Structure 1
Amino acid sequence: CSCRKTCINRVAQRPLHLRLQLFRTERRGWGIRCLDDIPKGQFICVYAGQLLTEQEANEDGKQFGDEYLAELDLIESIEQAKDGYESDVDIDIDHQSDISQSSGSDDSGEFSDISESKSLVPGQGHENKNDSSEKLSAHTLSSTAVRIIQKDDCQKKTRELYGPNEHCYVMDAKSTGNIGRYLNHCCKPNVFVQNIFVDTQDLRFPWVGFFAHVFIRAGTELTWDYSYQVDSVPDKKLFCHCGAKECRGRLL
């Protein structure tokens, strides 16, 4: 945005200012712990690395290992979260059309003057009905304003709008990256990921930012949930050693 660099909302664009320490864990390789208390919601750092296509990431993963690969799958994550969001909504198009015609709207699609409809004013005109199908709303649309969403429109994925053969881009931090690549997984993490947009509004290229999920005391290891799906990679098992009571036992 066009605000000044001193704006307090520019948390992810500032240099790292928290004191973090790289240390060797007992069973999970390198890890990161904080040397100062971190308040809940505090920005910690971003995940930096080399940007690869899905094909390049697969080739590099087979040759050099995939432990530092992170998919930029914001689009898929949001679509999965909203999957079935409107499954309980039942729209009766025929009934909607009848209501529109009775509300006095003409074929031009314009709304009639609701001030002339006494039925829209509580306690005047029509008496109250127990049947909800008889109630009129000031927000009732005319029949020409109703757009019937086709099934194919609902199933079209956002990423497909960018063109054919479009896949998630992958951040590879194995050889090029920052301290964010050493944050370990935990089934009950104290850090959460927030996708943010700074230099572009393109949904395919978010910045991956880490923020404190809870108040974190100095000396505590910083962890986040990798959200891997068990058995998603054929012939590969990765066991979890986070030590949390809620530990799921496996990452892959």
Structure 2
Amino acid sequence: MLQVFLTDRHKGWGLRTLQDLPKGSFVCEYVGEILTNTELYERNMQSSGSERHTYPVTLDADWGSERILRDEEALCLDATFCGNVARFINHRCFDANLIDIPVEIETPDRHYYHLAFFTTRDVSASEELTWDYGIDFSDHDHPIKAFHCCCGSEFCRDVK
């Protein structure tokens, strides 16, 4: 059982478990609209201020391939307008208690992309669920600037 809760003034809303979860437990799936990186960038540029906050997760549209994907090919899941409780999972550098496992499901007419979260260690009831978003905080050339990290990890990548 999961609960959305107000963490603190820096991180805002978060997600926690209400029961103990052993290592390797399935927690939830990340749900959102499937967009190309180009579509996500255009959506962000049309938004302003607090509306600019999005909930995207990058999907590799060509898993298992060694080729580099262009932004008009690479896919992401955006939970800004259509999502579930997974969009409240906060970031934590390196020592997060969740890992995302991408799953591609192929049907006769299309590919469906799913992202499942599993625990990386035993998680206690009432403990906040966290996940390493994989953000490169030193990439100053990226068109969308990274947020200021408030994860609190001793291994935080955004320490100045």
User: TM-score normalised by the shorter chain: which range applies?
Assistant: 0.7 to 0.9
Structure 2 counterpart SS, 1:197:
strand
1:55 aligns with 2:38: yes
Q: Which residue identity lines up with residue 69 of structure 1 in the other structure?
A: P
Structure 2 unaligned residues grouped into runs of 5+ = none
1:72 aligns with 2:59: yes
Whole-angstrom distance in 1 between the partners of 2:96 and 2:154: 12
Give the deviation of 1:73 after TM superposition. Answer: 2.2
The CA deviation string for residues 192-220 of structure 1, in whole angstroms up to 9 with x for no partner, is: 01012345499x74311100010000010
Matches within 5 A, 1:16-27: 19-26=1-8, 27=10
Q: Normalising to structure 2: TM-score of the pair?
A: 0.80
Note if contact 1:60-1:66 (Cα within 8 Å) is conserved in structure 2: no
Structure 2 counterpart SS, 1:25:
strand
> What number of residue pairs does the alignment pair up?
151
Query: Is the alpha carbon distance of 1:234 and 1:221 closer, same or farther for their aligned partners in structure 2, counting shifts above 3 Å?
Result: same
Give the deviation of 1:178 after TM superposition. Answer: 0.6
The CA deviation string for residues 73-114 of structure 1, in whole angstroms up to 9 with x for no partner, is: 2647x66xxxxxxxxxxxxxxxxxxxxxxxxxxxxxxxxxxx
Higher helix share: 1
Structure 2 counterpart SS, 1:37:
coil
Tell me the residue number matched to 1:216: 123
Q: Normalising to structure 1: TM-score of the pair?
A: 0.53
Structure 1 unaligned residues grouped into runs of 5+ = 1-18, 80-155
Give the deviation of 1:237 after TM superposition. Answer: 4.7
Give the deviation of 1:233 after TM superposition. Answer: 2.0
Aligned to 1:247, which of 152, 156, 159?
A: 156
CA RMSD of aligned residues (A): 2.8
Matches within 5 A, 1:130-149: none
Give the deviation of 1:158 after TM superposition. Answer: 7.2
Q: Which residue identity lines up with residue 63 of structure 1 in the other structure?
A: Q
Tell me the residue number matched to 1:90: none
Give the deviation of 1:63 after TM superposition. Answer: 2.4
Structure 2 counterpart SS, 1:181:
helix
Note if contact 2:106-2:112 (Cα within 8 Å) is conserved in structure 1: no
Higher strand share: 2
Tell me the residue number matched to 1:171: 77
Structure 2 counterpart SS, 1:227:
coil
Whole-angstrom distance in 2 between the partners of 1:45 and 1:249: 27
Matches within 5 A, 1:197-208: 197-200=104-107, 205-208=112-115
Whole-angstrom distance in 2 between the partners of 1:175 and 1:235: 19
Q: Which of the pair has more CA radius of gyration?
A: 1
Q: Which residue identity lines up with residue 193 of structure 1 in the other structure?
A: D
Identity, % of aligned pairs? Answer: 36
Note if contact 1:47-1:180 (Cα within 8 Å) is conserved in structure 2: yes
Tell me the residue number matched to 2:147: 238
1:181 aligns with 2:87: yes
